[in-house]
Homo-oligomer: A and B are copies of this chain.
Amino acid sequence: MSLPHAILTALLEKPSSGLELARRFDKSIGHFWQATHQQIYRELGKLEQSGLIRALPAEQPTRGQRKEYEVLAAGRAELTDWVSRSEDPRPIRDPLLLRLRAAAVVGPAGLVAELQRHLELHQRQLADYASIEERDFSHDQPAVEDRLRHVVLRAGMELESSWINWLTQTLAELRKL
């Protein structure tokens, strides 16, 4: 049940149309919650039906015509409530770990190259985050909103670092075999 809340957040930051949202998801929110334009359009429909957002009035928009949405009071209330709700962390669900487990049974042939590739991808991701951090969060007196956005980015960097760490150790271990 996170997608609707992601959309509410994005719309509060700035009222937008479906495609605009999809693009913003690709850039910022998408770093930790991805959604296709399809999901977004469907969810916008549901949110409008349940009265949490509304389409900004325009000349009766038809298919193919831009439609902007804004958050209503009920939507903001729902989001505020959600922020402090209790929800357990998602357990790990990672195919790469599964593959290592399988390798314990059928042999680790070909795994080194794949681990090496993952290592490079995670390094690149970390570098991306670092340059975002430099660009957006190197002010002296950040406002509360910016501090919060910053810690979210830090979480991404922390996780990428731990993958890099683990992959480096694991590659060393695998090369010994």
Binding site for B on A (CB under 8 A): 2, 5-6, 8-9, 12-13, 29-34, 76, 79-80, 82-111, 113-114, 117-118, 121-122, 144-149, 151-152, 154-156, 158-159, 161-163, 165-166, 169-170, 173, 177
- Nearest chain B CB to A127 CB, angstrom units: 15
Consensus secondary structure, chain A interface: helix
B33 touches A100 (CB 8 A): no
- Nearest chain B CB to A113 CB, angstrom units: 8
Q: How far is the CA of A159 from the CA of B155 in the complex (A)?
A: 11
Our pick among B33, B147, B162, B169 for the contact of A162 (Cβ within 8 Å) is B162
Q: How far is the CA of A31 from the CA of B90 in the complex (A)?
A: 11
A122 touches B169 (CB 8 A): no
Quick one: closest B residue to A109, CB to CB? B84
Number of copies: 2
Q: What would 11 more interface pairs be, CB under 8 Å, given A32-B93, A83-B108, A87-B114?
A: A9-B98, A30-B91, A80-B107, A84-B109, A97-B155, A100-B151, A104-B145, A104-B146, A104-B148, A154-B166, A154-B170
The verdict on A108 contacting B156 (CB below 8 Å), with A33-B93, A95-B87, A99-B82 known, is no
A95 touches B90 (CB 8 A): yes
Chain B residues positioned under 8 Å from A144 (CB to CB): 104, 108, 177
Offer 9 A-B interface pairs, CB within 8 angstroms, sorted by A: A13-B105, A32-B98, A33-B98, A79-B105, A83-B103, A94-B155, A97-B156, A100-B152, A158-B166
The verdict on A169 contacting B145 (CB below 8 Å), with A9-B98, A94-B90, A105-B12 known, is no
Our pick among B9, B80, B159 for the contact of A109 (Cβ within 8 Å) is B80
* Chain A to chain B: the 9 pairs with minimum beta-carbon distance, closest first: A84-B110, A104-B148, A162-B162, A104-B145, A32-B97, A9-B102, A158-B166, A158-B162, A80-B106
